[in-house]
């Protein structure tokens, strides 16, 4: 959430940011409602002051005068009740409009409408070459009996899956290598809830706009699609010690997404599933743009380093304006090479938000001058499973149908090949 004072003083910049993000928002209407909110509050303050003044006069009045004053105060009280009801309605409209205002993208964010317009900023390795016709991960995993999609759909419905045998070993190996790699970055390890109350989703910006992609319980909680939501909620409504910044978390959780807007996309295999697992990097830092930029590069590089441990070709893209979410100032996507599709596939997103999330979550700190500030927040996927298995399996497939285990994962898998006797 942006500060209403900032929005009022920089309306043209906020409008331009929304245009760049291809997000529709009515800033003029928000400012008009804000004017009405302030006017009603001023009227209420004036009437409260009048009520206090008249109450103070009461003891000095005679009976007849006191009667007249009581009558006038009753009318004043009735008028205040009407004003308070009007303010309540205006506040609801004001809050709803405030929640629709997108954060302003950084000047370095490229223009564009969708992920097709994202800008490549780095490339690692080259497309894997094979002396045989490579297969996709669905055919490979089913042939090796390390995944079962048919029974997954039977048991869990659309996009359901089972991992089996060495498929489970491989997924667990990724988690363990990720734990070793990212925890060496001096992050606080967290295992966080997936079942989270609405306030944390509102605070992180996933609600109200993204509700269709969330699973909701009958009790009003939601299943999170990322550990970011619970981790950011951890310090909700708290005032933090500035000396502890930057606060760095490495959080693990099951994740759930309905993929409501992805009908017909990636319906087979492990690319786009409803239930998965993730390690997530989450950071809170001082409210300084340069610090956010520095840490954004750092968390993204952490994941690039992890992919390089696996020796999988990838490229990193800067997301265009139309591919940014409501609160993101800038975002990088790391995309791994998928031979079966002859293209790169997103495996990680790294974003920074300035104080957009912390303002909504009421996370604060006192700076060196004694001023209360909202810290900046950042997050990045450390690594998700089972999606990363797609690139591992397809890039490391052998002519005989086996899968070579990446050297970095061998200590955790306990073998060099999946399938066969090698």
What are the backbone dihedrals phi and psi of residue 279, each rounded to the nearest 5 degrees, phi first?
-95, 135
On whether the CB atoms of residues 306 and 382 are closer than 8 A, the answer is yes
Tens digit of each residue's pLDDT (9 = 90 or more) over 212-238: 889 999 999 999 999 999 999 999 999
Domain boundaries, the chain: 4-98, 115-418
More confidently predicted of 46 and 393: 393
Q: Which of 121-130, 200-209, 394-403 has the lowest mean pLDDT?
A: 200-209
Please name the helix (run of DSSP H) or strand (run of DSSP E) that holds residue 301, with its range, or none.
Answer: helix 289-310
Per-residue pLDDT band for 47 (boundaries 50, 70, 90) equals: confident
Distance CA 252, CA 231 (A): 10
- Give ∠ CA 155-275-102 in degrees, rounded to 5: 145
Cβ neighbours, 10 Å, residue 1: 22
Q: Which of 54, 197, 198, 272 is catalytic?
A: 272
Task: Tell me, yes or no, if 41 is annotated catalytic.
Answer: no
On whether the CB atoms of residues 240 and 363 are closer than 8 A, the answer is yes
Tens digit of each residue's pLDDT (9 = 90 or more) over 257-305: 997 656 666 667 999 899 999 999 999 999 999 999 999 999 999 999 9
Torsion of CA 249, 177, 169, 273, to 10 degrees: 50
- What integer pLDDT is reported at residue 71 of this predicted model? 74
More confidently predicted of 61 and 295: 295
- What integer pLDDT is reported at residue 64 of this predicted model? 64
- What integer pLDDT is reported at residue 383 of this predicted model? 96
Q: Which of 83, 93, 346, 373 is catalytic?
A: 346
Task: Tell me, yes or no, if 345 is annotated catalytic.
Answer: no
Q: Which of 50-54, 312-316, 344-348 has the lowest mean pLDDT?
A: 50-54
- What integer pLDDT is reported at residue 267 of this predicted model? 64
Q: Which of 349, 351, 380, 391 is catalytic?
A: 349
CB proximity list for 159: less than 8 A, separation 6 or greater: 153, 259, 267, 272, 273, 274
Q: What is the mean pLDDT of residues 187-192?
A: 97
Task: Tell me, yes or no, if 349 is annotated catalytic.
Answer: yes
Tens digit of each residue's pLDDT (9 = 90 or more) over 341-395: 999 999 999 999 999 999 999 999 999 889 999 999 999 999 999 999 999 999 9
- What integer pLDDT is reported at residue 331 of this predicted model? 98
Q: Mean pLDDT of all residues in the chain?
A: 93
Percent of the chain predicted with pLDDT > 70: 95
- What integer pLDDT is reported at residue 51 of this predicted model? 77
- Give ∠ CA 167-171-173 in degrees, rounded to 5: 115
Q: What is the mean pLDDT of residues 84-105?
A: 95
Task: Tell me, yes or no, if 346 is annotated catalytic.
Answer: yes
* Prior bond of 188 cis (ω within 30°): no
Residue 45: CA count within 13 A, CB half-sphere: 6
Architecture of domain 115-418: 2-Layer Sandwich (3.30)
- What integer pLDDT is reported at residue 422 of this predicted model? 45
Q: Which of 257, 345, 360, 364 is catalytic?
A: 257
- Is the domain spanning 4-98 CATH 1.10.287.40? The answer is yes
pTM of the model: 0.91
Task: Tell me, yes or no, if 360 is annotated catalytic.
Answer: no
Per-residue pLDDT band for 320 (boundaries 50, 70, 90) equals: very high
- What integer pLDDT is reported at residue 78 of this predicted model? 77
- What integer pLDDT is reported at residue 268 of this predicted model? 79
Per-residue pLDDT band for 150 (boundaries 50, 70, 90) equals: very high
């Amino acid at each position: 959430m942006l500060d209403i004072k900032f929005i009022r003083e920089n309306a043209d910049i906020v409008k331009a940011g929304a245009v760049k993000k291809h997000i529709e928002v009515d800033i003029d209407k928000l400012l008009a409602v804000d004017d009405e909110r302030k006017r009603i509050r001023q009227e209420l303050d004036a009437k409260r002051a009048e009520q206090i003044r008249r109450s103070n006069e009461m003891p000095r009045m005679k009976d007849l005068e006191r009667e007249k004053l009581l009558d006038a105060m009753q009318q004043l009280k009735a008028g205040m009740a009407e004003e308070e009801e009007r303010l309540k309605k205006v506040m609801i409209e004001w809050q709803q409009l405030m929640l629709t205002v997108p954060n302003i993208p950084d000047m370095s964010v490229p223009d564009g409408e969708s992920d097709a317009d994202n800008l490549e900023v780095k490339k690692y390795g080259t497309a894997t070459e094979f002396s045989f016709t490579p297969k996709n991960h669905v055919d490979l995993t089913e042939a090796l009996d390390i995944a079962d999609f048919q029974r997954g759909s039977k048991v869990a419905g659309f996009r359901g899956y089972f991992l089996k045998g060495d498929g489970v070993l491989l997924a667990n190996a990724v988690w363990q290598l990720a734990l070793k790699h990212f925890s060496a970055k001096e992050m606080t390890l967290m295992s966080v809830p997936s079942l989270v109350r609405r306030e944390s989703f509102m605070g992180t910006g996933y609600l109200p706009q993204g509700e269709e992609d969330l699973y909701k319980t009958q009790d009003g909680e939601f299943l999170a699609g990322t550990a970011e939501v619970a981790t950011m909620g951890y310090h909700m409504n708290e005032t933090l010690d500035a000396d502890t910044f930057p606060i760095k978390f490495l959080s693990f959780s099951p994740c759930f997404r309905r993929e409501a807007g992805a009908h017909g996309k990636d319906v087979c295999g492990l690319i786009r599933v409803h239930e998965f697992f993730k390690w997530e990097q989450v950071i809170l830092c001082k409210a300084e743009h340069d610090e956010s930029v520095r840490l954004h590069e750092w968390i993204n590089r952490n994941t690039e380093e992890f992919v390089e441990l696996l020796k999988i070709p990838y490229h990193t893209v800067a997301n265009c304006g139309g591919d940014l979410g409501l609160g993101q100032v800038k975002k990088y996507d790391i995309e791994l090479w998928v031979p079966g599709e002859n293209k790169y596939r997103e495996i990680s997103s790294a974003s920074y938000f300035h104080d957009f999330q912390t303002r909504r979550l009421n996370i604060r700190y006192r700076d060196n001058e004694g001023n209360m500030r909202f810290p900046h927040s950042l997050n990045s996927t450390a690594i998700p499973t089972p999606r990363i298995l797609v690139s591992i399996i397809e890039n490391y497939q052998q002519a005989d149908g086996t899968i070579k285990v990446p050297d970095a994962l061998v200590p955790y898998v306990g073998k060099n090949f999946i399938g066969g006797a090698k």
